[in-house]
Amino acid sequence: MATILDNSVKFVPGVGEVRAKLLEKELGIVTIGDLLSFYPFRYVDRTKIHSIAEITSAMETSLVQVRARITGVAYSGTGRKQRFTAFASDATGSVELTWFRGIKWVEKSVEVGREYIIFGRPTLYRGEVQFAHPELELVERAMSREDRYAMQGIYSSTEKIASTLGAKGFLTIIRNAWNVGKDHITENLPAALLRRYDLISRREALHDIHFPASAEQLKAAERRLKFDEFLGVQLSVQSLRQERLSRRGGFLFPKVGEKFNDFFNHRIPFPLTNAQKRVVKEIRQDCISGYQMNRLLQGDVGSGKTMVALMSMLLAVDNGFQACMMAPTEILARQHFSTITRQTEGLGLHVAILTGSSKAKERRIALEGIASGEVDILIGTHALIEDRVQFSNLGYVVIDEQHRFGVEQRARLWTKNQQPPHILVMTATPIPRTLAMTLYGDLDVSVIDELPPGRQPIRTYHYTDSARLKLWGFLRRQIAAGRQVYVVYPLIKESETMDYKDLEDGFESIVRGFPLPDYRVTVCHGKMKPQDKEESMRQFKDHEADILVATSVIEVGVDVPNATVMVIESAERFGLSQLHQLRGRVGRGGGESFCILMSGEKLSREARQRLQAMCQTTDGFRLSELDMKLRGAGDINGTQQSGMAFDLKIANPTLDAPLLQTAREAAIEILKEDSRLERKEHAGLRELRKRHGGGQRFDFSMIS
Ligand code: ADP
Ligand code: MG
C-alpha cells in the first residue's frame, strides 16, 4: 500500500527537482520515507554553550557553540579571494568569524552590536579562536524557537550536498519531511511484540532519532530501529533455515567404522584436545540426524582443524561415501595431502590430489579414481570444482579457510551431486559467534577454543624502520641459536609489480645484510613456478635454509616447528586477520617465539591501532572483534563474499550483540506461530524481512 512516504522527496518543502536529483545521486535518497530513514551518524549537545576562553586546541575538530556579541566586521581581498570577517566577543575573550562564500547573504544577516549563538568548528591560530563559515542565530530567536532540540543530529554528507544545502539546510529538509510524513508512519510490529520487548512505537522512534530531546530518548529510539533491522534479518535467515530443515534429507553416517577406529586407536599421532573431541562429536551428531549438515568450524590458527577434518572424513568413508577437502592454495593443498597420506598410511585409504598444476598422470589418477569410486578422499584446490571432476558418491565436503572461496565457487560444488553432501567450512578468521549467527544464521557453529598442548608463547614487537640494525642483530642471535626465521613482505595482488619489487629488494638486502656465509636464505612468492615454490618450502622445512623470504603465500598452512621468528615487513599494509594468521606460523613448538612488525614512522591512526592490538594480544577472537570495530562489520573478511547483502543502517552485530540475540529469539517465536508470515497482522514483518533480510538470498546448503 503506497503512502505519502513513498512519494518522491522532491515534494518536501525546500527540496524540489534539482535537489531531489542530487539527494538520489549522492545519498541514494529517493522517497520521503528514505529521507526519514536517513539517520544522523552522531549528535552534538546543543544545550552546551562554551565561553570563548574555554576553547582549546583539543576542540578543533568538534562542533562547539559560543554565545557572543558582534563587535565589528571587515572586508578583505577582491574577486574570488574576497572574504568577510566578523569579530565577536563574550566576557571571556574574542573570536574571528570568516566567510569565503555567500558573502552577500552573510553580511546582511550579521548585525553589529547584537548577540548570536555561534555554532561551528573552531580553529586556533596563535592563540586566536577562529570559525570558518559558522552558523549564526540571534540569541532571542534561538531561545524562543520551538523546534529547539537538546541534541542536534549530524548527518553524513558529501561535498556536493554540503555545498548546496549545508548542515543547516539538511536539518531543515529533514524537519519538513517529518512534518509531511509524520501522520503516515504506521506501526510494523505487532503490539504484543512491542510490549514484550519494551519497544517504543515506530513513529516515536523516527521522530526521536532525528530530534532527540535527551540522551535517554535517543537511546530508546536507536534500540527500536536497531531491533527492526535485526528482526528483518533474522526473519529471513530463520525462515531459510526452517525451509532447509523441512525440505532436504541428509546422508546418513550411522557407523563408526573400521577406518575411524583403527585410526583413532592405533595411528593418531597425538591425543585429541577436548575441543577437538567435542567438535568431532558435534559433526557426528549432525551426520546421523537425517538433515544435511551445514557447519562452520572456527578455530584459531594452529588449533588443529585439519585433524578434525580428517576424522570426520573417515566417518564418511566408513559409511561408504567419498569425501573431499578443498584448500585455498596449492601449497596448502599439497601439505594437507602429504600430512593426511602420511598419517593414514596402512589404513587402506585411497587419497588423491588434484590441483591446477597437477601433471597428466596425477590428474588421471584423481579423475578416474573419483569417478569409479576407488578414491575415498580427494584433496585439492579450486580444481575440484571443474566440470570434469565427477564423483561417484560424494557425501562429505570440507572447505578449508572459507574466506578465500566465493559463493559461486561453493555453488558449483553443489552441482556435483543429486543430493547435497554434508558441508564443513573451516575458518581461522574467527567471526564472533553473534556475527556468525547473523551472517550465516543458517549455519551451525562449532568452535575449537583450545590450542594443543606445548604451544609456545609468542612475543610481538613493533619496530619502525630506524630500528633495522637492532632487528638484524636479533635475527643473527636467533639463527646462531639454531632457529629459523620468516621474513614476509606484503603482496596484496600477485600481479602488482611494485609489491613484487619490494620483495626482491628485501631479498637482496637481506642477503647483503647477512654477510656471514653460513646464513642460508631461500625465497618463495606467488610468481614462482609451483615446483620451485615447493622446493623452496622444502628447503626451509628440512632446515636447509635459515631464512625464508616470502610474500603472504605462506599465510596459511605452513608448518615448520623450528621457525620461531616471524618478521612482517610493511606491517601497516596488512589487515589484522592477516597479521594474526602470519603470526600463527611461529610458536609451534620450537621454543619461545617472536613476531616483529616492521613499519614506517608515519602511520594512520587505524594502522597504529592494529599494530598495537597485535602487540597486546594473541587471541584471534579478540583481534577479530577489534577488527570489526575498526573497519565496521560490513567490511569483514568474508562478509562480502558470503553474498549476504543485509541492509543494516544503524544496527551493528558486534556492538549490539545482545539485541541481536533478542531479535533472533523473537524471529524464531514468530515463525513458530506463522512460518510463512501469512497473517494479516504480520504484513509489517514481511515488509521488514524484505527490506533488511538480504536482497541476494543465500543458502549455505547450496554450497553450498
Ligand atoms: P589449523 O587449525 O590452523 O589448521 P593445524 O590443523 O594445521 O591447525 O594444526 C597445527 C599443528 O598442530 C599441526 O602441526 C598439528 O599436527 C598439530 N596438532 C593438531 N592437533 C593436535 C593435538 N591434539 N595435539 C598436538 N598437536 C596437535
Ligand atoms: Mg589449517
Phi and psi at 411, nearest 5°, equal: -60, -35
Is it the case that residue 644 has pLDDT exceeding 90?
A: no
Residue nearest atom 20 of ligand 1, based on CA coordinates: 304
Nearest Cα neighbor of 283 from 299, 268, 294, 274 is: 294
Tens of pLDDT along 610-627?
A: 999 999 998 887 887 777
Tens of pLDDT along 657-669?
A: 789 889 988 999 9
Is it the case that residue 637 has pLDDT exceeding 90?
A: no
Residue nearest atom 11 of ligand 1, based on CA coordinates: 302
Cα(641)–Cα(401) distance, rounded to whole angstroms?
13
Q: Which residues pair with 123 in a beta bridge?
A: 130
Tens of pLDDT along 139-187?
A: 888 777 655 667 888 888 877 887 788 777 898 999 999 999 999 999 9
The pLDDT value given to residue 699: 37
Q: Which ligand is nearest to the CA of 332?
A: 2
Three cell numbers written together for 179? 512534518
Calculate mean pLDDT across residues 30-41: 93
Whole-number average pLDDT of the chain: 84
Nearest Cα neighbor of 350 from 359, 358, 342, 341 is: 341
Taking the centre of ligand 1 as the mean of its atom positions, its distance from the CA of residue 659, in whole angstroms, is 36
Is it the case that residue 515 has pLDDT exceeding 70?
A: no
| 427 CB near ligand 1 (under 6 Å) | no
Residue nearest atom 10 of ligand 1, based on CA coordinates: 302
Cα(235)–Cα(597) distance, rounded to whole angstroms?
44
Taking the centre of ligand 1 as the mean of its atom positions, its distance from the CA of residue 481, in whole angstroms, is 25
Calculate mean pLDDT across residues 445-465: 88
| 398 CB near ligand 1 (under 6 Å) | no
CB of 413 within 8 A of CB of 389? Answer: no
Cα(56)–Cα(92) distance, rounded to whole angstroms?
13
Residue nearest atom 9 of ligand 1, based on CA coordinates: 304
The pLDDT value given to residue 642: 37
Is it the case that residue 419 has pLDDT exceeding 90?
A: no
Tell me the best of 307, 325, 344 to mutate to test the pocket of ligand 1, counting ligand atoms within 8 Å of each CB and taking the most.
307
The pLDDT value given to residue 593: 94
Taking the centre of ligand 2 as the mean of its atom positions, its distance from the CA of residue 246, in whole angstroms, is 33
| Least confident among 209-218, 413-422, 676-685 | 413-422
Tens of pLDDT along 40-64?
A: 988 888 878 899 999 988 888 788 9
Taking the centre of ligand 2 as the mean of its atom positions, its distance from the CA of residue 433, in whole angstroms, is 20
Calculate mean pLDDT across residues 465-489: 89
The pLDDT value given to residue 517: 53
The pLDDT value given to residue 430: 65
Is it the case that residue 190 has pLDDT exceeding 80?
A: yes
Is it the case that residue 671 has pLDDT exceeding 80?
A: yes
Taking the centre of ligand 1 as the mean of its atom positions, its distance from the CA of residue 303, in whole angstroms, is 6
Tens of pLDDT along 237-259?
A: 888 777 767 766 788 999 888 99
CB of 425 within 8 A of CB of 297? Answer: yes
Q: What percent of the chain has pLDDT over 90?
A: 44
Tens of pLDDT along 362-398?
A: 999 999 999 999 999 999 988 887 778 889 999 999 9
Taking the centre of ligand 1 as the mean of its atom positions, its distance from the CA of residue 301, in whole angstroms, is 9
pTM value > 0.75:
no
Tracing cell 549432525 back to the chain, one arrives at 286
Instruction: Please give the angle made by the CA atoms of 262, 266 and 270, to the nearest 5 degrees.
Output: 120
| 451 CB near ligand 1 (under 6 Å) | no
Tens of pLDDT along 581-608?
A: 889 889 887 688 999 999 988 888 888 9
Tens of pLDDT along 73-97?
A: 999 888 778 899 999 999 999 999 9
The pLDDT value given to residue 364: 92
Is it the case that residue 698 has pLDDT exceeding 60?
A: no
| 432 CB near ligand 1 (under 6 Å) | no
Tracing cell 549563538 back to the chain, one arrives at 117
Taking the centre of ligand 1 as the mean of its atom positions, its distance from the CA of residue 302, in whole angstroms, is 5
Tens of pLDDT along 224-236?
A: 999 999 999 889 8
Residue nearest atom 25 of ligand 1, based on CA coordinates: 452
The pLDDT value given to residue 514: 56
Taking the centre of ligand 2 as the mean of its atom positions, its distance from the CA of residue 266, in whole angstroms, is 23
Q: What percent of the chain has pLDDT over 70?
A: 85
Taking the centre of ligand 1 as the mean of its atom positions, its distance from the CA of residue 79, in whole angstroms, is 72
| 335 CB near ligand 1 (under 6 Å) | no
Residue nearest atom 27 of ligand 1, based on CA coordinates: 452
| 236 CB near ligand 1 (under 6 Å) | no
Best mean pLDDT range from 492-496, 546-550, 552-556:
546-550
